[in-house]
Chain A
Amino acid sequence: MKNYDTLLKDLTPRKFGKRGTIWTVFLLLIIIAGLIAYIDQVIKGQVVTNMRDYALWGIYISNFVFFVATSFVGSVTVAILRLTNNSWRTPLVRIAEIITLAAIVMAGVTIMIDMGRPDRLLNLFIHARLQSPITWDVIIVPTSIALSFLLLYFPLLPDLAILKKHFKKTKPTLSKWYGKLALNWEGSKAQKAIQEKSIKIIAIMIIPVGIMLQTIDAWLFSTTYRIGWDSTNMGAYFISGAFLAGVGALITVVYIIRKVRRLENYITDYHFDKMGKFLGLAALTYLYFNINEYLLPIFTAPVEEDIHLNALVSGEYAGLFWFSQIVGLLLPLLIVLFNKGRKPGPMFIAGIMVVIGSWWKRYIIVTPTLLHPFLPIEGVPESWHHYFPSLHEWLITAATLAMALLMITLFVRYLPVIPIQRTADERALLKTDKNSES
C-alpha cells in the first residue's frame, strides 16, 4: 500500500507553482496577441501577410503541415509500439496521446486561418467536391480528431476514477468533475472488457487513419504540377517525416514534464535510451528519403528542377535548407548513435533540434516551389519575387503554437501524465513476481 500511495502522490496532477503560472500567463499573452493579429487579418484581408500571388501559401500552410506531422506520434508510439509489444512505452503513452490530440486540433484551427473567406467555411461541407484533395483533408482531420480523443479518453477512465477518490476530501468540486468524466468507472469485469476491446480497435484503426492523414497532407502538394511538389515519393516522404517530427516532439515534451514533475523514477534513462534508438530509426528512414529527394536530381534534372535544387542547396534558401537538414536531421542522428548520446540531457537537445528543424523543413517544402513557377514572374512588384513572413503571420503562428502548448499544459495540470492504473498494475505484477521469487 505504501508503494501505491507514493505512486499516487507522484503521479496525481498538482497545482501550478510559480513557474507554471508564469508559463501559462506567457502562453496566454502570446495567444491574445495572435488573436488581435487575426482579427486585423479578417478585417483588412490577407494583405497583412506577406503572401502574394506567387508565394500564395506561406507559413500558415507550413505550420499546418508541421502540426499534422507531429500528430503522427500517437499512431507511432501508442499503436505501433503496442502492436509490437514494446512494454517500455507505458509511461510515455499518455504524453504521446496528449501531444497527438493537441496537434491535430491545432492543425484544424491553423488551416482555417489560411482561408481567404473564413465566413464561407460551411461551403466546404455543403458544396464539397470529392475530387479535391482539400475535401479529403476536411474528412480525415475531424476523423483523426475524434480518434485521437478516443485514444486519450478510453485509457484515461480508470485514472479519472482514481482521481475522483483522491480529491474527494481536499477538492470536492474538482472531484465531482473527475467523477463525471470517469463515466462511473468501477473497474468491473464488464467495464474492463469493453474498455480493452475499444482500446484494441482504436490502436488498430489509428495506424491506417494516421497514414491516411499524412498521405492526404502530402497529396495536397503532389497533386499539382509544380517542381519540387510533383513527386510520386511525397506520401512516403511525409510519413517518414512525420515519424521523425512526432518522436522528436515526444522526447522534448517528455523531458520537460519529467523535470518539472520530478518523474525520474518513472521515466528512466532506459526509456530515453529506447526513445533514442527509436529516433535513430526515424532519422535514418528520413535521411534515406531526403537523399532520394535532393541528391538524385543531380544526375538528370530538367531545367526547372535544376534551378529549384540550386536555389535550395546554394541559392536563396541555402541557409534554411542546410539548417533544417543538419540541425533537424543529421546532428540528432549523430547524437543518438552513441550510448552517451541517449542519456536524457543530450536526448532533450536532440529532440528540440528535431522539432525546430522540422518546422523549418516544412517551410522549405512550401515556399521555394511556389517562387519557381514554370513561366517567368513579371509585371508584379519586386517584393513579390520573395517571401518572408510578416509580423501578423509570426504573431498568429506563434499563437497557434502557444495554443498547442497551452492545451498540453492544461492536460498536465489536470490529468495524470503517466497512466496511474496501468503503472500500478504493472508494478503490482512485478511485486508479486518478486514475492513469488523470493
Chain B
Amino acid sequence: MNFISKSQIKLRFVLLASISVFLLSTLVQSLYAQDTEKNSVRLKANYFKIMDSEVYFNIAASSRIDRQNVDVANIDIIITNEIEDEEIELGKVTTNMKGEAKFVLKSLSAMRPDSTGLYTISMSFKGNDAFKRASKSISFRDATIKANLITKDSVNYISATLLDTAKDSILSDQLLNVQVQRLFRNLRIGKEFNSTDENGTILVPIEEGIPGVDGNLTLEVVLNDSDDYGTVKALVKAPLGTPIVDESTFDQRKMWSPRNKTPLFLLIFPNLIIFGMWAFIIYLFINLFRIAKT
C-alpha cells in the first residue's frame, strides 16, 4: 500500500517551503549583490565658447575605486538639451583612455535656452555591468566678447567688450585675461586680471617686440571659468609682432650638416687626393698585369 501520511506531507511541505525561502533569499541576495558590486561614476563637465567659432564641452568621467580616483574609459555619454520639460538629444560621445571626452557643437544655436536665456545641458551615462548609471547637468548663459585692435598715440591696444547675449547688456566687473597664443602655454599680456569697466570694456596695451611668424600674432581675450557664463574666448589676429628670422644652419654647408651638404673644401680636396692616390694604385696594378703579359 502506498501510503503517505498526512504528517509526512506536512513535513515535506514545510521542507519544500523552507528550501524555497532559502533559495529565494540567495537568489535575491545574489542579484542584489551584483548591484552593490558596481562602482559609481562621477561626471564633470565644463562649457567653452570660442567667438565666431564652435562651442564645446569637456567631459571627464572618474570613479573612486579602492579609495583611488580612476579614470573611467570607454563609456558612452549622451548629451541632451533640457528646456522646460523637453529633452532634446544633442549627441553622444565616448570617453577615451583617460576618461575624457569632448563634445563639439558648431554653434550655440543648436541648443535652445529657456525663457530667461539660461541653457541647460545634461550628460548621462546609462550604466554598464561595471558602473552604475550617472548624470550631470550644467547651466550657463551665453556671453559675447567683442575684441578689436586700436591704435592710440602710436601705441597698440586691444579693446574688448563683454556682453550678455540674451539680454544684450554690458557685464562689468568681470575679470578677463589677455594673452598671445604660443606653443605650449599662452603668454599673458597686460595685468593678470583685467576688470571690465562700467561699459563692460577693457583696454590693454600690446607690448612691442613680440615675435610671430611673418609678424602675425593671434591674441586671445578670455573670460575664464565664470559661474554663469562658462569660459568664453575671443581670438584676434594682430599683425603687430616682429617677424621671426630663421637662424637655423640647416640649409647651409657646415661641418655638422648631413652628407648632402658637405662643406665645399671637404668635397674638393679629399676627393682630389683620393682620386690621385687610387689613380696611381690602379696604374700600379695594371703594371703587374703588364709584367705578366711580357
Q: Which residues of A come within 8 Å of B, CB atoms? A: 127-131, 136, 139, 143, 146-147, 150, 153-154, 157, 183-186, 188, 190-191, 194-195, 197-198, 201-202, 205, 209, 212
Contacts and interface: CB of A to CB of B under 8 A. Distances in A.
A80 to B, nearest CB: 19
Contact of A188 (B266, B280, B294): B294
Contacts of B277: 143, 147, 205, 209
Given A139-B274, A201-B284, A129 B294 contact: no
Interface stretch (B82-90, B113-121, B189-197, B253-261): B253-261
A129 to B, nearest CB: 5
B281 interface: yes
B290 interface: yes
Contact of B284 (A130, A190, A198): A198
B270 A131 contact: no
Contact of A143 (B259, B262, B278, B290): B278
B266 A131 contact: yes
Contact of A185 (B259, B263, B284, B291): B291
B259 A129 contact: yes
Q: Name the prevailing secondary structure of the B interface residues.
A: helix
Given A143-B281, A209-B277, A184 B266 contact: no
6 contacts: A129-B259, A131-B259, A157-B291, A191-B294, A195-B291, A198-B284
B274 A194 contact: no
Contacts of A195: 287, 291
Given A143-B278, A205-B280, A209-B277, A130 B291 contact: no
B161 to A, nearest CB: 56
Contacts of B257: 131
A130 B281 contact: no
A131 B256 contact: yes
Interface in B269-294: 270, 273-274, 277-278, 280-281, 283-285, 287-288, 290-294
Interface string B124-144: 000000000000000000000
Given A150-B281, A209-B277, A194 B290 contact: yes
A198 B282 CA distance: 11
A192 to B, nearest CB: 9
Contacts of B294: 184, 186, 188, 190-191, 194
A188 B294 CA distance: 9
Contacts of B255: 131
A147 B267 CA distance: 24
Contact of B270 (A136, A154, A183): A136
A130 B266 contact: yes
B interface bracket (residues with beta carbon within 8 Å of A): 20 to 34
Instruction: Please list the 8 inter-chain residue pairs (A to B) with the smallest Cβ-Cβ separation, ordered nearest first.
Output: A183-B292, A129-B259, A130-B266, A198-B287, A190-B294, A130-B262, A131-B255, A191-B291
Given A129-B262, A130-B267, A150 B291 contact: no
Most chain A C-beta atoms within 10 Å of own C-beta, residue among B273, B280, B291: B291
Nearest to A223: B255
Contacts of B263: 131
A184 B292 contact: yes
Nearest to B256: A131
Contacts of A127: 259
A148 to B, nearest CB: 11
Given A130-B270, A131-B255, A136-B270, A194 B291 contact: yes
Contacts of A143: 274, 277-278, 281
Nearest to A204: B280
Given A128-B259, A131-B262, A147 B291 contact: no
A195 B258 CA distance: 44
A190 B257 CA distance: 51
A48 B294 CA distance: 55
B288 A153 contact: yes
A195 B281 CA distance: 14
A184 B291 contact: yes
Interface string B97-108: 000000000000
B122 to A, nearest CB: 53
Contacts of B292: 183-184
A220 to B, nearest CB: 16
B65 to A, nearest CB: 37
Nearest to B258: A129
A152 B45 CA distance: 85
A336 to B, nearest CB: 35
Most chain A C-beta atoms within 10 Å of own C-beta, residue among B259, B283, B294: B294
A180 B255 CA distance: 48
Contacts of B258: 129
A143 B277 CA distance: 8
A136 B274 CA distance: 10
A190 B294 CA distance: 7
Contacts of A157: 291
Nearest to A188: B294
Given A130-B266, A197-B287, 5 more contacts: A146-B281, A147-B281, A150-B285, A183-B288, A205-B277
A195 B291 CA distance: 8
A204 B232 CA distance: 83
B70 to A, nearest CB: 34
Given A128-B259, A139-B274, A183 B266 contact: no
A147 B257 CA distance: 32
A126 to B, nearest CB: 10
Interface in B44-84: none
A139 B271 CA distance: 10
B284 A139 contact: no
A310 B274 CA distance: 42
Contacts of A202: 284
A194 B259 contact: no
Contacts of A185: 291
A409 B288 CA distance: 26
B55 to A, nearest CB: 50
B99 to A, nearest CB: 36
B259 A201 contact: no
Contacts of B281: 143, 146-147, 150
A29 B283 CA distance: 40
A185 B294 CA distance: 8
